[in-house]
Amino acid sequence: MKKVLIHPATHDTVRPAVDRAFEIFPINLSGKKVLIKPNALRSSDADEAIVTHPSVLRAVVEKVETLNPAAIIVGDNPGVASYGANEECFEKTGLMEAAKGYYQNIGNDPVTVDFNPAFMASASVSRAIMEADIIISLPRFKTHGLTVLSGAIKNSYGFLCGAQKALLHKVAGNPARFQEVVVDVFKIRVPDLFIMDAVVGMEGNGPSSPDLRDIGLILAADNAVAMDAVVATMMGCDPSCLRFLQKAKEDGLGDYDLTTVNIIGTLEKVKNFKLPPLGGEGVAQNPAIQEMLASKISFRPQVDQSLCTGCGTCVDQCPVSALEIVDVFPEVDADTCITCFCCQELCPEKAIQLG
Ligand code: SF4
Ligand code: SF4
């Protein structure tokens, strides 16, 4: 039976929770190359909860140091792919310091691996991911406009180097297919242990929403499907309605049925949790709305001109060049937009909403 640990924690008391995770999920790291992958979506302040909090990364690094690994690498491929962006993200978020000298820009050395030909024949993945003996994934408890939640499975999307993430958004073309692509990326190299930062969670328009919730937990699991099913339940969403969990189960990666999971700790729904648009339980069970979610006419990004600084990040990162700056602010070409919401994820001012 798969297990999920739910352990109380604050940013100052992460280490006991991490120690407990390694007790429940003993893992032999002696002489092994260990890669620790936080969620480093984009350059931001640690307290914005967009990335894994540095206190969680530090606690895991320090625990791993005690277990005699041959090597430790801390790395991720953030959403913005440009020269220096990886280092900038790690520095600004505090993840660089928390990595204690083990940081590596894993985006600089990709290898090509076979992928699902329905989407792309091959994918470009960090060599460090493929060559690690052990991968410890550190997702954050967050919502996501395309996958409802960004948890253990979605954290592996950062295995992809450079423009591959945006390219796959483009190839997927709609949210339902994107949820399937996320699982295919996860399958490239299934991590060995998941430790989730749920001390402060994100609700609403994730994964870069300003709406945060004190949750006060660290979660741990050796199975991503079980962990994400727990997270969905905490968010008030029926896990069986999420396409990426359905696909993960179909592919033999685990089961979202929590009667098959041993929960160690107390599983409680977060009161009045705000799911992203179209993510609610009733919505997820409504075939008409699911069809709309899968269509290209569902939502478009809208720019809040009171927040936008005209920096152009969204324009640079749009995989289909659907945005252009007109005078000061970006405008979207609705016919070209594929509703991937990369622009919303990566806008440093949180100026883009789903509308
Ligand atoms: S919407 Fe955001 S990313 Fe785009 S130009 Fe404005 S501030 Fe920059
Ligand atoms: S405008 Fe935004 S949502 Fe539309 S395709 Fe470009 S990045 Fe994706």
Give the count of domains, the chain. 2
Within 6 Å (CB) of ligand 1, which residues are found?
303, 308-314, 330, 347, 349, 351-352
Q: Based on the domain organization, do 277 and 314 belong to the same domain?
A: no
Same domain for 112 and 10: yes
Q: What is the mean pLDDT of the chain?
A: 91
Q: What is the pLDDT of residue 189?
A: 98
HSE (side-chain half, CA atoms, 13 Å) at 98? 27
- What ligand is nearest to the CA atom of residue 326? 1
Which of the listed residues 247, 271, 290 is the one where a domain comes to its end?
Answer: 290
Please give the distance, rounded to the nearest whole angstrom, from the Cα atom of residue 322 to the centre of ligand 2: 6
What is the domain range of residue 304?
A: 299-354
Please check whether residues 101 and 233 belong to one and the same domain: yes
What is this structure's pTM? 0.87
Comparing 26-30, 120-124, 155-159, 351-355, which segment has the lowest mean pLDDT? 351-355
pLDDT at 354: 73
pLDDT of 281 = 47
Ligand 2, pocket-test mutation among 337, 345, 347, most atoms within 8 A of CB? 337
Q: Are residues 227 and 335 in the same domain?
A: no
Where does a domain end: 261, 290, 319?
290
Q: Same structural domain for residues 275 and 305?
A: no
Pocket test for ligand 1, best of 42, 80, 303, 342 (most atoms within 8 A of CB): 303
Q: What is the mean pLDDT of residues 232-238?
A: 95
- Verify that 205 and 84 share a domain, yes or no: yes
Whether residue 219 is found in the same domain as residue 344: no
**Domain shared by 278 and 303, yes or no:** no
Residue with tokens 């609700």: 203
Whether 124 contacts 160, CB under 8 Å: yes
Cα 44 to ligand 1 centre (Å)? 14
- Copy the structure tokens of residue 40: 């480093």
Mean pLDDT of 106-124: 93
Diameter of the chain by CA atoms?
58
Nearest CA to ligand 1 atom 2: 347
The reply to whether 164 and 227 lie within a common domain is yes
N-terminal to C-terminal alpha carbon distance within the chain:
42
- 281 & 334 share domain: no
296: pLDDT strictly greater than 80: no
Q: Ligand 1 center to residue 132 CA distance, Å?
A: 36
CA 204–ligand 1 middle distance (angstroms): 19
Closest ligand 1 atom to 303 CA:
1
- Among 238-252, 276-290, 306-320, 339-353, the range scoring the smallest mean pLDDT is 276-290
Q: What is the pLDDT of residues 317-338, one digit of tens each?
A: 888 889 999 989 999 998 888 7
Q: How many CB atoms lie within 10 A of CB 130?
A: 14
- pLDDT for 100 equals 98
Quick one: three-class SS letters along the chain?
CEEEEEEECCCCCHHHHHHHHHHHCCCCCCCCEEEEEECCCCCCCHHHCCCCCHHHHHHHHHHHHCCCCCEEEECCCCCCCCCCHHHHHHHHHCHHHHCCCCECCHHHCEEEEECCCCCCCEEEEEHHHHHCCEEEEECECEEECCCEEECCCHHHHHHECCCHHHHHHHHHCCHHHHHHHHHHHHHHCCCCEEEEEEEEEECCCCCCCCCEEEEEEEEEECCHHHHHHHHHHHHCCCHHHCHHHHHHHHCCCCCCCHHHEEEECCCCCCCCCCCCCCCCHHHHCCHHHHHHHHCCCCCCEEECCCCCCCCCHHHHHCCCCCEEEECCEEEECCCCCCCCCHHHHHCCCCCEEEC
Q: Return d(Cα 177, Cα 339) in angstroms, integer.
A: 12
Give the integer Cα–Cα distance in Å for 61 and 58.
5
Query: Does residue 283 surpass a pLDDT of 80?
Result: no
- Of 253, 272, 290, the residue that ends a domain is 290
> For 159-180, how does the pLDDT look when each residue is reduced to its tens digit (9 = 90+)?
999 778 888 888 887 778 889 9
pLDDT class for 288, splitting at 50, 70, 90?
A: very low
How far does residue 350's CA lie from ligand 2's centre (Å)? Answer: 14
116 and 34 in a single domain? The answer is yes
Q: Cis peptide leading into 348, omega within 30 of 0? A: no
